[in-house]
Amino acid sequence: MVYRLILTDRELSYDNYSQDFLIGFFPTQGQAEETARYYLENVQGFCEYDCTYGIVKKEIADNPDHVAPKSVWFVQGWNTNEYLDEIDIVESPCFLTEERAQEECRLMQSANERTEWAVSCYCIGDLHWKDGFVRV
């Protein structure tokens, strides 16, 4: 099990679109919550605007021994709307290998019509959105 932390700018979210920032995957929910609090109180953009956070508990497929991995692979598919925002997002559980994630991507593509697909690797505990943001 890993915990994916996403921060959301509520003011820039609308209808079926959410302006999300993937911060990272964490080994415990507590670490994800602590990181979220830090971002919302200290990181430019997140602390100035109406942002919130969500933590998604993600299963690690094919991990019968429940080994704590150093990294996980993850598949997402999405469409874009007229504003080129990502909508209709589908996602997989996490995997320990790229090969297994690629296999899952092929299965998801045959079951879900989406225009874009990504297979990504994330190191557990690494921060992927480090510097905050500024609205223009």
pLDDT at site 114: 97
Residue 59 covered by a domain:
yes
Residue 104 covered by a domain:
yes
**Strand-pair category, 2-14 with 116-123:** unpaired
pLDDT in tens, 69-124: 999 999 999 999 999 999 999 999 999 999 999 999 999 999 999 999 999 999 99
pTM: 0.90
Residue 133 covered by a domain:
no
pLDDT in tens, 55-69: 999 999 988 777 789
Residue 134 covered by a domain:
no
How many separate domains does the chain show?
1
Residue 130 covered by a domain:
no
Residue 68 covered by a domain:
yes
DSSP 16: T
Task: Identify the domain containing residue 32 by its residue range.
Answer: 2-123
DSSP letters of 61-120?
TT-TT----SEEEEEEEEEE-TT--EEEEEE--BBSSHHHHHHHHHHHHHHS--SEEEEE
